[in-house]
Amino acid sequence: MTLELAHLHRRFAGFGALDDVSLSIAPGEFLALLGPSGSGKTTLLRILAGLDYPDSGSVHRDGEDFLATPARERRIGMVFQHYALFRHLTVVENIAFGLRVRPWRTRPSRAKIHEQVDRLLARVQLEGLGGRYPAQLSGGQRQRVALARALAVEPDMLLLDEPFGALDAQVRVTLRRWLRELHEELQLTTVFVTHDQEEALELADRVAVMNQGRIEQVGPPEQIYQQPATPFVCEFIGKVNRVELRRTGVGLAAGGWMPEGDEPWQGRYAKATAYIRPEQLSLVVPPTLPAWEARLRHVYLAGSVAHLDLYVPSLDQTLEADVASEDLSRLGLQAGRELRIAPRSAVLFPHDGSGATVDRERWIWLEPDRVHA
């Protein structure tokens, strides 16, 4: 079952929730819709569920018009952000709901429903809790009931709206892994909405990054992380340092450092912005190579990783670098130390005359191969 979304537009009073969104969802894939609040990701999910409709554009499932199919006939399982469990029904009744409301011709027998519910209770590891009401369950248990209820109707596609949003950090990580395993087992097309980039990168086969109603980039997590298509994706995914470059006699440069190698723009742009990941900063660069002189201001030890605040006077800017904690003493990294730092890789976007970035002229710069001392 392939879903083709084409040129979807949706406006709510005052703001555009979707602005020309096109996307293709492959059978069995685990797709994340990632973006800040108001980016349109939930609107997109609700359109797939049949709870909202686009002002224009189309959705086709294997060539047939999906938007013309009413919500109840779309064969979709949906887990709502706050689970939306039926508060007056027990866990068993919640899970059985989708089967019990079927027209009598297609409704399974009482025994069949019972059997199916038992199987799902086991699958979501809630055996023995079938008689409870939603109010008597923990957040993680509620989420699993919601999932079992969605799976009970044997859907073709599973939609999850911020599935981990309401859970505390530890439960979240456990459930995330569990959901991933479940997906591998069922091979069910799954679309989930999240604002948490870590969640999206860890779980999904493909991530669609959304901003202001548009899809900024779609791709596998590594691609989104290493080759961000737009400045928004750079800044939204992970932490990133932003450095402004200006054209000098020798090329684009910023305070003593310049990206070596052939500039793809051939001198067409006077300014550019470089995005550098904290783990892509070399901290001990030999004096023969271009680098920034920096002073190490603070070391924040966060378990296996240490975050460093580096002040670069020539940029009048503080850059952030991440190193493995064990490298701290090996490199002699203490607050107050002077260092020569330079990026190992960066993503650069040139600026046009008005100062806006030119996204299609992205340059993924990598440090030239050389033998380090």
Partner 1 sequence: MNPAVGRRKPGLTRRLVRLALILLALVFLLLFLVLPLAAVFVEAFRQGVEPYLESIRQPEALSAIRLTLLVAAIAVPLNVVFGVAAAWAMTRFEFRGKALLGALIDLPFSVSPVISGLVYVLLFGAQGWFGPWLEAHGVKIIFAVPGLVLATVFITLPFVARELIPLMQSQGSEEEQAARVLGASGWQMFFRVTLPNIRWALLYGVLLCNARAMGEFGAVSVVSGHIRGLTTTMPLEVEMRYNEYDYVGAFAVASLLALLALLTLGIKTLLEWRYGDELAAHAPGGH
Choices 74-82, 182-190, 209-217, 218-226 (CB under 8 A): range interacting with partner 1? 74-82
Site for partner 1 in 153-172 (CB under 8 A): 153
- Is the Cβ–Cβ distance between 146 and 176 less than 8 Å? no
Closest separation in Å from C-beta 156 to partner 1 = 13
Check binding of 50 to partner 1 (CB under 8 A). yes
Residue closer to partner 1 by CB (options 110, 239) is 110
Burial of 348: CB neighbours in 10 Å, binned 0-12, 13-18, 19+: buried
* Cα distance between residue 200 and residue 69, in whole Å: 29
Stretch touching partner 1 by CB under 8 A, among 14-22, 46-54, 197-205, 228-236? 46-54
Pick one of 16, 38, 51, 90: the residue that binds partner 1 (CB under 8 A): 51
Helices (H) and strands (E) in the chain, counts: 9, 20
CA distances from 48 to 9, 106, 158, 292 (A): 13, 24, 10, 49
Distance (Å) of CA 174 to CA 47, 52, 123, 164, 170: 29, 32, 15, 10, 7
Q: What distance in Å separates the CA atoms of residue 198 and residue 26, rounded to the nearest whole number? A: 22
Q: Which of 299, 294, 307, 291 is nearest to 343 (CA)?
A: 291
User: Minimum distance between the CB of residue 78 and partner 1, rounded to whole angstroms?
Assistant: 5
Residue 187 CB, shortest distance to partner 1, in Å, is: 21
At closest approach, how far in Å is the CB of 212 from partner 1? 23
Whichever of 94 and 273 has its CB closer to partner 1, that residue is 94
Residue among 4, 1, 8 at smallest CA distance from 215: 8
Structure tokens given for 63 = 């060539």
Minimum gap (Å) between residue 203 Cβ and partner 1: 22
- Nearest to partner 1 of 32, 96 (CB atom): 96
Q: Does 53 bind partner 1 (CB under 8 A)?
A: no
Question: Measured from the CB of residue 123, what is the shortest distance to partner 1 in angstroms?
Answer: 18
Piece of the chain touching partner 1 by CB under 8 A; list 58-66, 67-75, 284-292, 364-372: 67-75
| Binding window for partner 1 (CB under 8 A); candidates: 147-155, 190-198, 238-246, 266-274 | 147-155
Among 144, 149, 176, 183, binds partner 1 (CB under 8 A): 149
**Residues numbered 206-265 forming contacts with partner 1, rule: CB under 8 A:** none
Beta pairing partners, 7: none
Residue keyed to tokens 């002077």? 338
Q: Is there binding between residue 14 and partner 1 (CB under 8 A)?
A: no
Give the count of beta carbons closer than 10 Å to the beta carbon of residue 353.
8
Distances (CA, A) of 25 to 33, 156, 157, 184, 239: 11, 12, 10, 17, 28
Q: Which stretch binds partner 1 (CB under 8 A): 56-64, 80-88, 266-274, 341-349?
A: 80-88
Residue placing its CB nearer to partner 1 in the complex, 74 or 195: 74
Report residue 199 as tokens: 């969640």
Residue with tokens 């991440």: 322
> Is the Cβ of residue 59 or residue 153 nearer to partner 1 in the bound state?
153
Among 2, 27, 53, 71, contact with partner 1 (rule: CB under 8 A): 71
**Rounded to 10 degrees, what is the CA torsion of 329, 333, 334, 340?**
160
Residue 260 CA neighbour count, 13 Å, CB half: 11
CB of 201 to partner 1, least distance (A): 28
Q: Does 140 bind partner 1 (CB under 8 A)?
A: no
Binding to partner 1 (CB under 8 A) within 96-115 occurs at 97-98, 101-102
Beta carbon nearer to partner 1, 57 or 77: 77
Residue 268 binds partner 1 (CB under 8 A):
no
Residues near partner 1 (CB under 8 A): 49-51, 71-74, 76-78, 80, 82, 84-88, 97-98, 101-102, 149-150, 153
